[in-house]
Amino acid sequence: MCGLLGFLTADTATTEVVDQVYDALHCQRHRGPDEKGTWHDDHMIFGFNRLSIIDIEHSHQPLRWGPADNPQRYAMTFNGEIYNYLELREQLAAAHAAEFPDGKIFATDGDGEAIVAAFHFWGPEAVRKLRGMFAFAIWDTESQELFLARDPFGIKPLFLATGPGGTAFASEKKSVLELLSPLGLSDELDPRALEHYTVLQYVPEPESLHKNIRRLESGNYATVRVGQEPVVTRYFRPDFRVRPFVAGSEQARYAEIAAALEDSVAKHMRADVTVGSFLSGGIDSTAIAALAMRHNPKLITFTTGFEREGYSEVDVAAESAELIGARHIVKVVSPAEFAAAIPEIVWYLDDPVADPALVPLYFVAKEARKHVKVVLSGEGADELFGGYTIYREPLSLKPFEYLPAGARKLLGRLGDKLPDGKRGKSLLQRGSLSLEDRYYGNARSFNDAQLRAVLRDFRPEWTHQDVTAPIYAQSAGWDPVARMQHLDLFTWLRGDILVKADKMTMANSLELRVPFLDSEVLRVAEGIPYDQKITRETSKYALRQALDGIVPDHVLNRAKLGFPVPLRHWLRGTELYDWAETQIAESQTDHLIDKAAVTQMLRDHKAGVSDHSRRLWTVLVFMVWHGIFVEDRIKPEIQEPTYPVRPDSPSTQPDASK
């Protein structure tokens, strides 16, 4: 778990950009405060910030490896963890030991060498064999080709920019921003990405709010040659179509799910440092913590909440921790702490994410880092096993499918005429639409009328379908719940859930691991039938059955809250109203946002005319982001890491070269 950075020059020597690379590397120091290292040759320069987790005394990066006839052929930087690295090392050693002097393929005990050796022997197909979370870059000094790859789910980020000066990439967008000038690129904003953000509450991949910086999408790899554009290939395509279950019984299916998850947790516990676990009041994190206890009886669990009633799962999580035998630590976040941390949090985010749950996540990560260096968490279970309440919508809208298209449109027009808040309005409107038209993920903030009122340059032709249509095209013919899961896997999960998980933990130099997002867990989840995911009474039905006896009874069938935030109340009261009013007044976004309309929304929200909390938060987070990254008006105080760190290794000093 670290921060990587690279610059592939087009026609200049790397020595001409080395100072900018060092500055860019400093921007992501929080991702790896244990060591800092660089390496370069004539065209490629790598920078690396290391958070040491496995093979702490060795496995320094940038890493060099090669075959017997050219042992320094490859240079690599790697962010993440490969959980099957021991098995890969054994497989590679067994197949190729004879090709190396004394049969020794590896010089370290880490997972990085397993990646580069696998790439050497298997080529790009090696990414399909990696079980873990990763973003990595391999420079082949012989072929003069750069290979970049990102894990299937998008757990680890990788930003990318290509211009006349070459190609730059990094774990943090702010690092790439430092390198736009030597690339010959501007820092112009992308208005379409802003409109997508305003609707979705996150910037969808591969976009970023800067037009010239994009992300390598999850489940993709890219090859880059000197002076050329990256050539991108998708290697990961999930398939949620129901398949016959060969074992023959539902009990056998539940046993297979439990076994896959237990194996995943076991592999995710591999580390040379202490591993803890986040714990909310829901089934997902409780399952992970309960299984982790089997491998570490001294497991520490962490949760967070607020003092306001109904916005905390602290008591439920504490009861779960006691029942599974874990030591439990609680962080309660005050409204003052919440407001004070927003600029710092937005700086860490790189692009705005309007999910208020990332604030308590930031604070619980800060608390956890006092005790452990790695935590497990339950992200991904909802997407894989059918956990969101909205997935039950196809059941409620089933009667509309039997109506002629004309009748459905008529009902939709009737719904449009009903006053806002009238019972049945949303049902009629959504029932009149196809799945592709009505569902674009868990986050739905502004509609077109609201966007037109708020955005100065509203473009109705820029819609959510820019993002969702290509994804829906891949799932034609699947059942509606499978299609919704598939869409969320490529939108909400990687755009919101995993971004906040990565950014808020790495802000505190804490590694977060997500055992549900594992290739073997996905394999057993893909073929689960519709009625084993969603029923009229519950969600994640098959998963709940599989976890019976693992998860305590008081949690097994409990509805999920996660880390809820009382934002609606705070924006009406003294906690956040004045703060919000000040942000709107001071923001220099008049050319992008109708600030008078936003101010009126805030006043209407306070008066109880409408609940605008979600829309207000979306705009407010963008205004803070703009104040930091565009106006340079807001200057968060980013502290240097305060916990003990290791000095730079002599082998990875900044002037290390060929």
pLDDT at 15: 82
Give the confidence band of 647 by pLDDT, cuts at 50, 70, 90: very low
**Helix/strand/coil (H/E/C) assignment for every residue in 311-338:** CECHHHHHHHHHHHCCEEEEEECCHHHH
CA 487, distance to chain mean position in Å, is: 15
- Closest to 214 measured CA to CA, from 226, 229, 225: 229
- Closest to 31 measured CA to CA, from 58, 4, 6, 54: 4
- Closest to 540 measured CA to CA, from 486, 609, 498, 481: 481
Give the confidence band of 13 by pLDDT, cuts at 50, 70, 90: confident
Q: What is the mean pLDDT of residues 636-649?
A: 61
Do 377 and 523 share a structural domain? yes
Do 78 and 183 share a structural domain? yes
Query: Does residue 451 sit within a domain?
Result: yes
What are the backbone angles phi and psi of residue 125, rounded to the nearest 5°?
-65, -15
Which two tokens mark 581? 């009013």
Q: How far apart are CA 356 and CA 346, in angstroms?
A: 11
Query: Does residue 289 sit within a domain?
Result: yes
Q: How far apart are CA 364 and CA 504, in angstroms?
A: 9
Query: Does residue 446 sit within a domain?
Result: yes
pLDDT at 648: 37
Q: How far apart are CA 534 and CA 397, in angstroms?
A: 14
Do 151 and 295 share a structural domain? no
Q: How far apart are CA 409 and CA 61, in angstroms?
A: 60
Give the three-class secondary structure for 655. Answer: coil
pLDDT at 656: 35
Do 148 and 71 share a structural domain? yes
What are the backbone angles phi and psi of residue 370, rounded to the nearest 5°?
-75, -15
Q: How far apart are CA 134 and CA 155, in angstroms?
A: 7
What are the backbone angles phi and psi of residue 114, rounded to the nearest 5°?
-65, -35
Q: Which residues are catalytic?
A: 2
Give the three-class secondary structure for 24. Answer: helix
Do residues 174 and 350 touch, judged by C-beta distance below 8 A?
yes
Do 428 and 302 share a structural domain? no
Do residues 32 and 249 touch, judged by C-beta distance below 8 A?
no
Mean pLDDT over all residues of the chain?
92
Among candidate residues 203, 236, 269, the one where a domain is terminated: 236
Among candidate residues 488, 509, 527, the one where a domain is terminated: 488
Q: Whole domain around residue 180: which residue ranges?
A: 2-236
- Closest to 494 measured CA to CA, from 234, 202, 220: 202
Do 431 and 292 share a structural domain? no
Do 97 and 213 share a structural domain? yes
Give the confidence band of 563 by pLDDT, cuts at 50, 70, 90: low
What percentage of residues in the chain have a pLDDT greater than 70? 96
Do 589 and 621 share a structural domain? yes
Do residues 495 and 355 touch, judged by C-beta distance below 8 A?
no
Q: Which residues contact 97 (CB under 8 A, 6 or more apart)?
A: 103, 104, 105
Give the confidence band of 639 by pLDDT, cuts at 50, 70, 90: confident
Do residues 438 and 485 touch, judged by C-beta distance below 8 A?
no
- Closest to 29 measured CA to CA, from 274, 348, 272: 348
Whether the predicted pLDDT of 655 surpasses 80: no
* Sheet (strand 74-82) strand order: 63-65, 74-82, 132-140, 145-150, 220-225, 231-234
pLDDT at 515: 98
Supply the DSSP string of 91-125, one letter for each residue: HHHHHHGGGSGGG---SSSSSHHHHHHHHHHHGGG
Which two tokens mark 647? 């000095």
Do 83 and 195 share a structural domain? yes
- Among 168-177, 451-460, 614-623, the least confident range: 451-460
CB atoms near residue 434 (< 10 Å): 10
Query: Does residue 504 sit within a domain?
Result: yes
Give the confidence band of 1 by pLDDT, cuts at 50, 70, 90: low
Query: Does residue 652 sit within a domain?
Result: no
Do residues 51 and 204 touch, judged by C-beta distance below 8 A?
no
Whether the predicted pLDDT of 646 surpasses 60: no
Query: Does residue 231 sit within a domain?
Result: yes
Which two tokens mark 302? 């962490």
Whether the predicted pLDDT of 405 surpasses 50: yes
What are the backbone angles phi and psi of residue 230, rounded to the nearest 5°?
-60, 145
Q: How far apart are CA 149 and CA 122, in angstroms?
A: 14
Do residues 261 and 287 touch, judged by C-beta distance below 8 A?
yes
Give the three-class secondary structure for 15. Answer: helix
Whether the predicted pLDDT of 657 surpasses 80: no
> DSSP H helical segments within 108-217, as ranges?
112-122, 173-177, 180-183, 191-200
Which two tokens mark 316? 């439920």
456-462 CB contacts, 8 Å cutoff, 24+ apart: 456/590, 456/591, 456/592, 456/593, 456/594, 457/191, 457/592, 458/195, 459/191, 459/192, 459/195, 462/192, 462/195, 462/196
CB atoms near residue 494 (< 10 Å): 25
Number of H helices, E strands in the chain: 28, 17
The model's pTM is 0.94
Do 171 and 101 share a structural domain? yes
Do residues 202 and 353 touch, judged by C-beta distance below 8 A?
yes
- Closest to 148 measured CA to CA, from 11, 39, 5, 255: 5
Note if the bond before 164 is cis, omega within 30 degrees.
no
Do 158 and 36 share a structural domain? yes
Q: What is the mean pLDDT of residues 125-132?
A: 97
Q: How far apart are CA 622 and CA 194, in angstroms?
A: 9
Higher pLDDT pick, 247 / 381: 381
Whether the predicted pLDDT of 323 surpasses 60: yes
pLDDT at 650: 31
Do residues 290 and 551 touch, judged by C-beta distance below 8 A?
yes
Give the confidence band of 562 by pLDDT, cuts at 50, 70, 90: low
Q: What is the mean pLDDT of residues 570-598?
A: 96
The CATH number for 140's domain is 3.60.20.10
pLDDT at 421: 75
The CA–CA distances, whole Å, from 397 to 181, 391, 403, 627 equal 52, 11, 11, 43
Express each pLDDT in 234-272 by its tens digit: 999 999 987 766 656 888 999 999 999 999 999 999 999
Query: Does residue 653 sit within a domain?
Result: no
Express each pLDDT in 212-232 by its tens digit: 999 999 999 999 999 999 999
262, amino acid identity: E
Overall domain count for the chain: 4
The CATH number for 260's domain is 3.40.50.620
Query: Does residue 640 sit within a domain?
Result: no
C-alpha R_g of the chain: 25
Beta strands in 492-620 (DSSP E): 511-513
Q: What is the mean pLDDT of residues 399-405?
A: 89
pLDDT at 11: 82
Do 624 and 502 share a structural domain? no
Whether the predicted pLDDT of 592 surpasses 60: yes
CB atoms near residue 556 (< 10 Å): 16
Express each pLDDT in 90-122 by its tens digit: 999 999 999 998 889 999 999 999 999 999 999
